[in-house]
C-alpha cells in the first residue's frame, strides 16, 4: 500500500472521529434539554471531575403535578384573534375625478404629434404600432422546444432506507439471537415469507435504480433546455433570460397529463366563469371600477418616472384600474393570504371613474400591448376557460392604465383613447432614425448627455429579439463608425453559474471544519485567517462575474414611453387579477355549501395546500424575468439571507415558546389538524344518538369508515373543493392517491375554518349536505337525532329523583366540587358506572359509550385551544402538546384532583381499585355526560379550566413527548443530512409469555439493525415505551463516556486506562 492511500485512510478516520464527536455532543445537549438541565455546549470542562454526571431520573415521562393558584395566571376561556394579518374590508375613495379633456385634445388635435382623432385612434394604433410589431416578431426563428415527459399519475414507491443493505446481516444476526433467547415463544418464519421479503427487496432496489436513472434523465433535459435558450439565434445574450409561451427558464411550466389539464386553478379554470361576458360603450355605467394601489410607491425616491407634461400639468402613471362586471364581495380580503416574493403589496380601492374614460375595445388593445407585446407575459390570460372553444366573450377583468394629475383638489385622469394616443406617439417610429444617430454622433459630449438624459432608464422594445423589452440604463456612441448603443447593467441568470462557485463551496467547507476543530480543541488554526481572506476575494470575483454589461445597437428599438416603475404595477395587477377571480369563485363556493363566511381569510387559508409557496398569477419565471430585465436595478448581494433551520434543537425552542420573529404558517395543515377533530366529533355525535344501542366498538368502526380519507375526498368533491384548492404547479398531487389525500385534508381544513368562523352547527350542516345531499331520505335519517334514553324518560330533568334515591344523592357533592349542576343527574351517575356493574333501570347501562363520545369532545376542545393560542406552531408541534394533555397520565391526575374515585359505582363485592386507564376512562365518560346534558360550551369551560393550565408544566419541563418520540428525535439528530430517508427506531416482538389472561410481552428496539435495548410489560405499548426509555439511558451513557474520554489529556487518559481497564 502506497503512502497516498495510507494518508487518505488516516484523514478519513480523523474526519469520522470528528463526526462522531459532533453526534455525541448533540446527544448530550438533547439529553440535558430533555432532563431540563442548562446547556453546557458553550464551555467545556477543564478536568474530568468537572464533567456533570447525567441525572438519575428513573422515569422522566411522569404526569403533571397537581394544579395550584399560580397556574391560573390567565383566563383560559379568552382567545386571541385567529387571523390578524390582513384586513377584510374594501376601501372606498372620495376623490373628485374628472376626465382630462385638455390632455386628449393636446395628444390628437395636433397632426405633428400622433396625426389621428379620437374616433380613429384605435384603428391607427393597430395599423401603425401593433401590425408592424407582430410582423417583425414573426421574423424570429422558431427553435423547437425540448420534449419533456409528462408527470406520471402512478403512485410513488417508497425510497430505500438509510444503510438498508449494510444492516441486513445485522438484522438477521440479531433476529437469530432473539430467537435463540426466546425460541419457545417465537415461531420460525416460513420459506414463503422469506421469498416474499427477498422479492420485495429486489423490487425496491430496481425501483431505486430506476429513480436514479430518471433523475439523471431529467437533469439532462434541463441542461438541454438551458442550452437551447442560451444558443437561440434571436437571444440578445446567452446570460439573459427571456419569456416564451408555456415555458419557464429551463423546462415547460405545465407537464400535467392531458386528463387533468382542463381543471384546477393552476390551469386557469375558475369556478363560476362559465358565462359569456359582453360589455360595450353603452354598458359602461353598469361596470365596477377599482383602483389598484401599490405600496410602497414603485417610483418613490426615483428620478426617472413614467410621466408626461401637458399644458403645464404633469401627468404621472398611478397604476391600473381594475374594471369588473360584478361588484367585489363585501367580505373579500384586501390582499391574498399567501405570500409572493416581491417587495410590494397592493390594495383594491373602490373609486369613481368617469364613464367616458373607459372603452372596452380600447382597453383590450392596451392590455394586449402592455402585457403581451412589451413585457411578454404570454401565459397571462383573463378570458374565461370554461366556455366552448371559439366563443366570443369579454375578459373577466378589464385592466386600464391610469395617468393622473392633481389640481385644486381635483384629479384629472386620461381616457383610454388618450392612453392609446400616448403609446401611438412613442411606438409609431424607431427610437433613433439614421439621421438621429448621425446627428447625435456629431454632438459634443455635453450636448449628447443632455439629449439622451430624458431617455435614461426607458423601457425600449425590439420585437425581433429575445427578450423584446429591456431597460436602457444609458446610451453610448461610436464616433468612428457613427453608431449608437444602448447600455444595460444587469445580473446574469441563476442558471449560468460562475466558475468560482465550486472553489467557494470547497473553502466554506474547509473553514467550517476548522471552526469545529477550534471549538473542540480551543486552539485557533493559523491558516484560518488566510482562508477567510481568500474566501472574501473569491466572493468578490463571483459578484463581478455575475455582473453583466450589455451593449446593443439601437437599430430597430422603439421607445415605449414607459419607465421601470410600471413593472411593479404590472406584477401586482397580475396577482390582483387572480385574487379578484378567486374571490368571485369563492362566492360560487359559498352557494354550493350554503354558508357565507364572515371572514374569508380563513377559507382562503383552508384551501391552500402545503406545496403552495408563492404565486405570481402566471408563470413565475416570466414575472421574475420581467423584473430583472425591465425593473429598477437592484444591487446584487443586497438581498436578505434566510435563517437556516436548526433541526431538532429548534423543535425544543418552538415548543418552549421561543417563537420571536416567526412567520405565520400560510397553508392549511394547521387547519387540517383542527378539522380532523371537528369531523370526528360530528361523526361521533350522530352515531352516538342514531345508533343508541350499539356498543363503543361498533361505533368506532362506523366512525372510522366515515372519517377515512377516501370518504372525505368524495365529500370534498361534492363541495367542489377540487375546483378551489390552490397547490403547486408541478409533480405534486398528480397521482390519484395523493390528490384524494389532499382533498380529504382540504375538507377537514374547511370544517375547521367554518368552526372558527361560526361554531360547530354550520359544520354539521355542511357535512350532512356533502354526505347525503343527493339522497334526501338518508339525509333525513342522518339529521334526525334521537334524544338520549335517560332524557327521554325525564324530559324536564330528574333532579327530584335524586332526593329519594341514595345512589344519586352522593352526586350532589360532586356537583358542588365541579361547580356544574346537571339537569339529568342520572347521566352523571351513568358516567361513573363501570362496565362490570349489572344492567339496572337507574343508569340503563355502563359508561363505555359516554367515554367513547367524551374522547372526541376532549380532542376537539384541546385542539381548538392549541390552534388559537399557538399560532406559530406546526401541526406536529400541536399534536405533541395535545398528546401530553389528553394522555392517560394527565387524565388520571385530573381524576385524582377532582376526587372522582369516591363516586364510582362499582359492582357488589368488588374493590374500588382503579388503574391509570380506568381513571382516564372515568374522566372521558364524565365529559361525554356533560356534553349530552349541557352541550359543547359547558365542556369547553370545564376542559379549559381543568386541563389547559397543566400545559405550562409540559412546556417548561420539556416533557411534551414520550420516550418513543424522544428516541426518534435522537436518531434524527445523528442522521446523515444528505439522506432524505433516515433510519428510524424499529420495535420488534421477541416473545409472549404467560397464560392467556396474564400475558407478558417482550419487545426490543433496533436502530440500523443493532439492538439498543429490550423490555417486558403486560401490553405492547407499555413494553415499547419501557424499551425506548432503556435505550435512551444506554444511548446517553455511551455518548457521555465517549465525550469524557475525549476531553481527557494524554496523561489522564493513560492513568485512566491503567487503573480502570
Residue with cell 443493505: 165
pLDDT digits (tens, 9 = 90+) for 763-797: 999 999 999 999 999 999 999 888 888 888 888 88
Highest averaged pLDDT of the listed ranges 218-227, 404-413, 649-658: 404-413
Neighbours of 1032 (CB within 10 A): 23
> Of 107-111, 302-306, 671-675, 1046-1050, where does mean pLDDT reach its minimum?
1046-1050
**Dihedral angle, C-alpha 362, 368, 373, 376, nearest 10 °:** 150
Does 851 carry a binding-site annotation? yes
pLDDT digits (tens, 9 = 90+) for 470-499: 999 999 999 888 899 999 988 877 655 567
How sure is the predictor about 148, in pLDDT bands with cuts at 50, 70 and 90?
Answer: confident
Fold classification of 3-61+966-1060 (topology level): Double Stranded RNA Binding Domain (3.30.160)
Domains 3-61+966-1060 and 668-783 share a fold: no
The pTM of this model reads 0.81
Does 777 carry a binding-site annotation? no
Mean pLDDT confidence for 1028-1042: 72
Q: What is the DSSP string of 278-294?
A: ---GGGGGGSEEEEEEE
| pLDDT above 60 (res 660) | no
> Of 350-354, 735-739, 970-974, where does mean pLDDT reach its minimum?
970-974
**Contact of 836 with 907, CB cutoff 8 Å:** yes
**Contact of 571 with 437, CB cutoff 8 Å:** no
pLDDT digits (tens, 9 = 90+) for 244-300: 999 988 888 888 888 788 888 888 899 989 888 888 777 777 889 999 999 888 888
Does 663 carry a binding-site annotation? no
Residue 223 is predicted with a pLDDT of 85
Neighbours of 75 (CB within 10 A): 9
How far, in Å, are 381, 411, 833, 960 from residue 887 at the CA level?
53, 66, 22, 10
Highest averaged pLDDT of the listed ranges 3-12, 497-506, 717-726, 995-1004: 717-726
Neighbours of 216 (CB within 10 A): 10
Neighbours of 9 (CB within 10 A): 11
789-957: which CATH number, 3.65.10.10, 1.10.1520.10, 1.10.287.1400, 3.40.630.30? 1.10.1520.10
How sure is the predictor about 641, in pLDDT bands with cuts at 50, 70 and 90?
Answer: very low
| pLDDT above 70 (res 515) | yes
Q: Where are the domains of the chain?
A: 3-61+966-1060, 91-134+272-429+567-630, 164-230, 501-550, 668-783, 789-957
Mean pLDDT confidence for 207-232: 83
Q: Which stretches of 94-190 are DSSP H helices?
A: 101-108, 121-125, 131-137, 164-181
Fold classification of 668-783 (topology level): Ribonuclease iii, N-terminal Endonuclease Domain; Chain A (1.10.1520)
| pLDDT above 70 (res 65) | no
* Residue 376: φ, ψ to 5°: 55, 40
Residue 1038 is predicted with a pLDDT of 63
pLDDT digits (tens, 9 = 90+) for 870-916: 888 888 888 888 988 898 889 999 999 999 988 998 877 767 678 88
| pLDDT above 80 (res 628) | yes
Rounded CA-CA distance 388/873 in Å is 46
Mean pLDDT confidence for 810-816: 90
Amino acid at each position: 500500500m502506497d503512502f497516498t492511500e495510507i494518508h487518505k485512510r488516516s484523514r478519513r478516520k480523523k474526519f469520522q472521529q470528528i463526526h462522531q464527536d459532533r453526534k455525541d455532543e448533540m446527544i448530550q445537549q438533547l439529553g440535558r434539554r430533555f432532563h431540563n438541565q442548562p446547556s453546557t455546549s458553550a464551555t467545556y470542562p477543564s478536568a474530568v471531575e468537572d464533567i456533570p454526571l447525567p441525572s438519575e431520573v428513573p422515569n422522566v415521562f411522569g404526569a403533571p403535578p397537581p394544579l395550584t393558584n399560580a397556574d391560573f395566571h390567565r383566563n383560559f376561556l379568552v382567545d386571541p384573534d385567529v387571523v390578524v394579518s390582513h384586513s377584510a374590508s374594501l376601501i372606498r375613495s372620495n376623490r373628485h375625478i374628472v376626465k382630462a379633456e385638455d390632455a386628449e385634445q393636446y395628444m390628437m388635435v395636433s397632426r405633428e404629434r400622433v396625426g389621428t382623432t379620437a374616433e380613429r385612434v384605435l384603428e391607427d394604433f393597430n395599423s401603425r404600432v401593433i401590425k408592424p410589431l407582430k410582423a417583425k416578431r414573426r421574423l424570429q426563428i422558431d427553435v423547437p422546444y425540448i420534449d419533456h415527459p409528462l408527470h406520471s399519475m402512478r403512485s410513488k414507491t417508497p425510497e430505500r432506507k438509510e444503510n438498508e443493505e449494510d444492516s441486513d446481516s445485522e438484522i438477521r444476526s440479531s433476529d437469530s439471537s432473539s430467537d435463540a433467547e426466546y425460541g419457545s415463544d417465537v415461531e420460525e418464519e416460513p420459506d414463503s415469507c422469506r421469498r416474499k421479503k427477498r422479492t420485495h427487496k429486489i423490487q425496491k432496489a430496481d425501483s431505486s435504480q430506476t429513480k436514479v436513472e430518471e433523475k439523471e434523465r431529467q437533469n439532462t433535459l434541463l441542461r438541454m433546455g438551458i442550452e437551447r435558450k442560451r444558443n437561440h439565434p434571436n437571444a440578445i445574450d446567452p446570460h439573459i433570460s427571456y419569456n416564451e409561451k408555456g415555458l419557464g427558464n429551463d423546462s415547460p411550466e405545465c407537464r400535467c397529463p392531458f386528463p387533468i389539464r382542463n381543471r384546477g386553478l393552476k390551469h386557469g379554470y375558475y369556478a363560476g366563469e362559465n358565462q359569456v361576458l359582453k360589455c360595450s360603450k353603452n354598458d359602461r355605467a353598469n361596470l365596477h371600477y377599482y383602483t389598484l394601489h401599490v405600496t410602497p410607491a414603485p417610483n418613490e425616491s426615483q428620478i426617472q418616472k413614467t410621466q408626461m407634461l401637458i399644458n403645464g400639468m404633469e401627468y404621472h402613471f398611478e397604476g391600473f384600474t381594475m374594471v369588473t362586471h360584478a361588484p367585489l364581495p363585501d367580505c373579500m380580503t384586501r390582499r391574498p393570504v399567501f405570500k409572493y416574493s416581491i417587495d410590494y403589496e397592493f390594495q383594491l380601492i373602490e373609486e369613481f371613474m368617469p364613464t367616458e374614460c373607459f372603452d372596452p375595445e380600447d382597453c383590450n388593445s392596451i392590455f394586449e400591448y402592455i402585457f403581451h407585446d412589451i413585457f411578454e407575459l404570454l401565459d397571462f390570460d383573463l378570458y374565461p376557460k370554461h366556455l366552448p372553444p371559439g366563443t366570443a366573450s369579454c375578459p373577466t377583468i378589464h385592466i386600464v392604465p391610469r395617468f393622473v394629475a392633481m389640481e385644486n383638489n381635483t384629479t384629472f385622469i386620461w381616457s383610454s383613447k388618450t392612453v392609446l394616443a400616448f403609446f401611438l406617439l412613442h411606438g409609431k417610429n424607431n427610437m433613433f432614425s439614421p439621421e438621429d444617430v448621425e446627428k447625435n454622433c456629431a454632438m459634443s459630449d455635453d450636448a449628447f448627455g443632455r439629449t439622451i438624459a430624458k431617455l435614461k432608464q426607458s423601457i425600449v422594445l425590439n420585437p425581433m429579439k429575445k427578450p423584446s423589452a429591456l431597460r436602457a440604463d444609458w446610451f453610448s456612441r461610436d464616433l468612428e463608425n457613427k453608431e449608437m448603443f444602448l447600455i444595460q447593467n444587469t445580473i446574469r441568470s441563476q442558471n449560468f453559474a460562475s466558475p468560482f462557485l465550486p472553489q467557494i463551496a470547497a473553502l466554506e467547507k474547509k473553514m467550517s471544519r476548522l471552526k469545529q476543530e477550534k471549538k473542540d480543541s480551543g486552539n485557533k488554526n493559523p491558516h484560518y485567517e488566510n482562508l477567510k481572506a481568500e474566501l472574501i476575494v473569491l466572493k468578490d470575483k463571483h459578484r463581478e462575474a455575475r455582473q453583466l454589461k450589455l451593449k446593443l445597437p439601437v437599430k430597430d428599438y422603439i421607445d415605449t414611453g414607459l419607465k421601470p416603475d410600471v413593472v411593479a404595477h404590472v406584477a401586482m395587477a397580475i396577482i390582483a387579477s387572480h385574487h379578484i377571480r378567486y374571490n368571485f369563485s369563492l362566492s360560487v363556493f359559498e352557494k354550493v355549501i350554503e354558508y357565507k363566511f364572515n371572514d374569508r381569510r380563513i377559507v382562503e387559508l383552508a384551501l391552500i395546500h402545503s406545496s403552495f409557496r408563492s404565486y405570481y398569477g402566471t408563470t413565475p419565471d416570466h414575472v421574475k424575468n420581467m423584473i430583472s430585465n425591465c425593473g429598477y436595478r437592484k444591487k446584487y448581494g443586497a438581498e436578505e439571507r434566510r435563517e437556516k433551520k436548526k433541526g431538532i434543537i429548534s423543535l425544543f425552542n418552538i415548543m418552549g415558546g421561543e417563537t420571536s420573529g416567526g412567520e405565520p404558517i400560510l397553508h392549511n395543515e394547521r387547519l387540517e389538524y383542527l378539522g380532523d377533530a371537528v369531523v370526528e366529533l360530528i361523526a361521533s355525535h350522530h352515531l352516538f344518538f342514531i345508533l343508541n344501542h350499539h356498543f363503543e366498538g361498533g361505533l368506532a368502526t362506523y366512525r372510522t369508515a366515515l372519517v377515512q380519507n377516501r370518504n372525505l375526498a368524495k365529500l370534498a368533491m361534492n363541495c367542489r373543493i377540487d375546483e378551489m384548492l390552490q397547490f403547486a404547479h408541478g409533480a405534486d398531487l398528480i397521482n390519484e392517491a395523493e390528490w384524494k389525500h389532499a382533498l380529504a385534508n382540504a375538507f377537514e381544513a374547511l370544517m375547521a375554518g367554518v368552526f372558527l368562523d361560526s361554531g360547530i352547527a354550520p359544520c354539521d350542516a355542511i357535512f350532512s349536505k356533502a354526505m347525503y345531499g343527493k339522497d334526501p331520505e338518508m339525509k333525513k335519517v342522518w339529521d334526525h337525532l334521537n334524544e338520549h334514553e335517560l332524557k327521554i324518560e325525564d324530559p324536564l330533568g330528574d333532579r327530584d329523583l335524586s332526593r329519594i334515591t341514595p345512589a344519586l344523592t352522593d352526586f350532589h357533592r360532586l356537583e358542588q366540587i365541579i361547580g356544574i349542576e346537571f339537569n339529568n343527574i342520572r347521566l352523571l351517575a351513568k358516567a361513573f358506572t363501570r362496565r362490570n356493574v349489572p344492567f339496572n333501570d337507574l343508569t340503563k347501562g355502563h359508561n363505555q359509550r359516554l367515554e367513547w363520545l367524551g374522547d372526541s369532545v376532549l380532542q376537539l376542545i384541546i385542539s381548538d385551544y392549541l390552534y388559537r393560542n399557538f399560532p406559530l406552531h406546526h401541526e406536529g408541534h400541536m399534536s405533541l402538546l395535545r398528546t401530553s394533555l389528553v394522555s392517560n397520565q394527565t387524565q388520571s391526575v385530573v381524576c385524582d384532583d377532582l376526587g372522582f374515585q369516591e363516586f364510582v359505582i362499582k359492582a357488589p363485592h368488588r374493590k374500588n381499585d382503579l388503574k391509570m386507564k380506568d381513571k382516564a376512562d372515568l374522566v372521558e365518560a364524565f365529559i361525554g355526560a356533560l356534553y349530552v346534558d349541557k352541550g359543547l360550551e359547558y365542556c369547553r369551560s370545564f376542559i379549559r379550566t381543568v386541563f389547559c393550565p397543566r400545559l405550562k408544566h409540559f412546556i417548561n419541563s420539556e416533557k411534551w413527548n414520550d420516550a418513543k418520540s424522544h428516541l426518534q428525535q435522537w436518531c434524527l439528530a445523528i442522521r446523515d443530512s444528505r439522506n432524505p430517508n433516515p433510519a428510524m427506531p424499529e420495535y420488534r416482538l421477541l416473545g409472549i409469555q404467560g397464560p392467556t389472561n396474564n400475558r407478558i410481552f417482550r419487545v426490543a428496539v433496533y436502530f440500523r439493525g443493532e439492538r439498543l435495548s429490550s423490555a417486558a410489560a403486560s401490553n405492547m405499548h407499555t413494553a415499547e415505551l419501557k424499551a425506548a426509555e432503556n435505550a435512551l439511558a444506554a444511548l446517553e451513557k455511551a455518548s457521555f463516556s465517549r465525550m469524557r474520554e475525549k476531553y481527557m489529556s494524554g496523561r489522564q487518559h493513560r492513568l485512566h486506562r491503567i487503573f480502570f481497564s
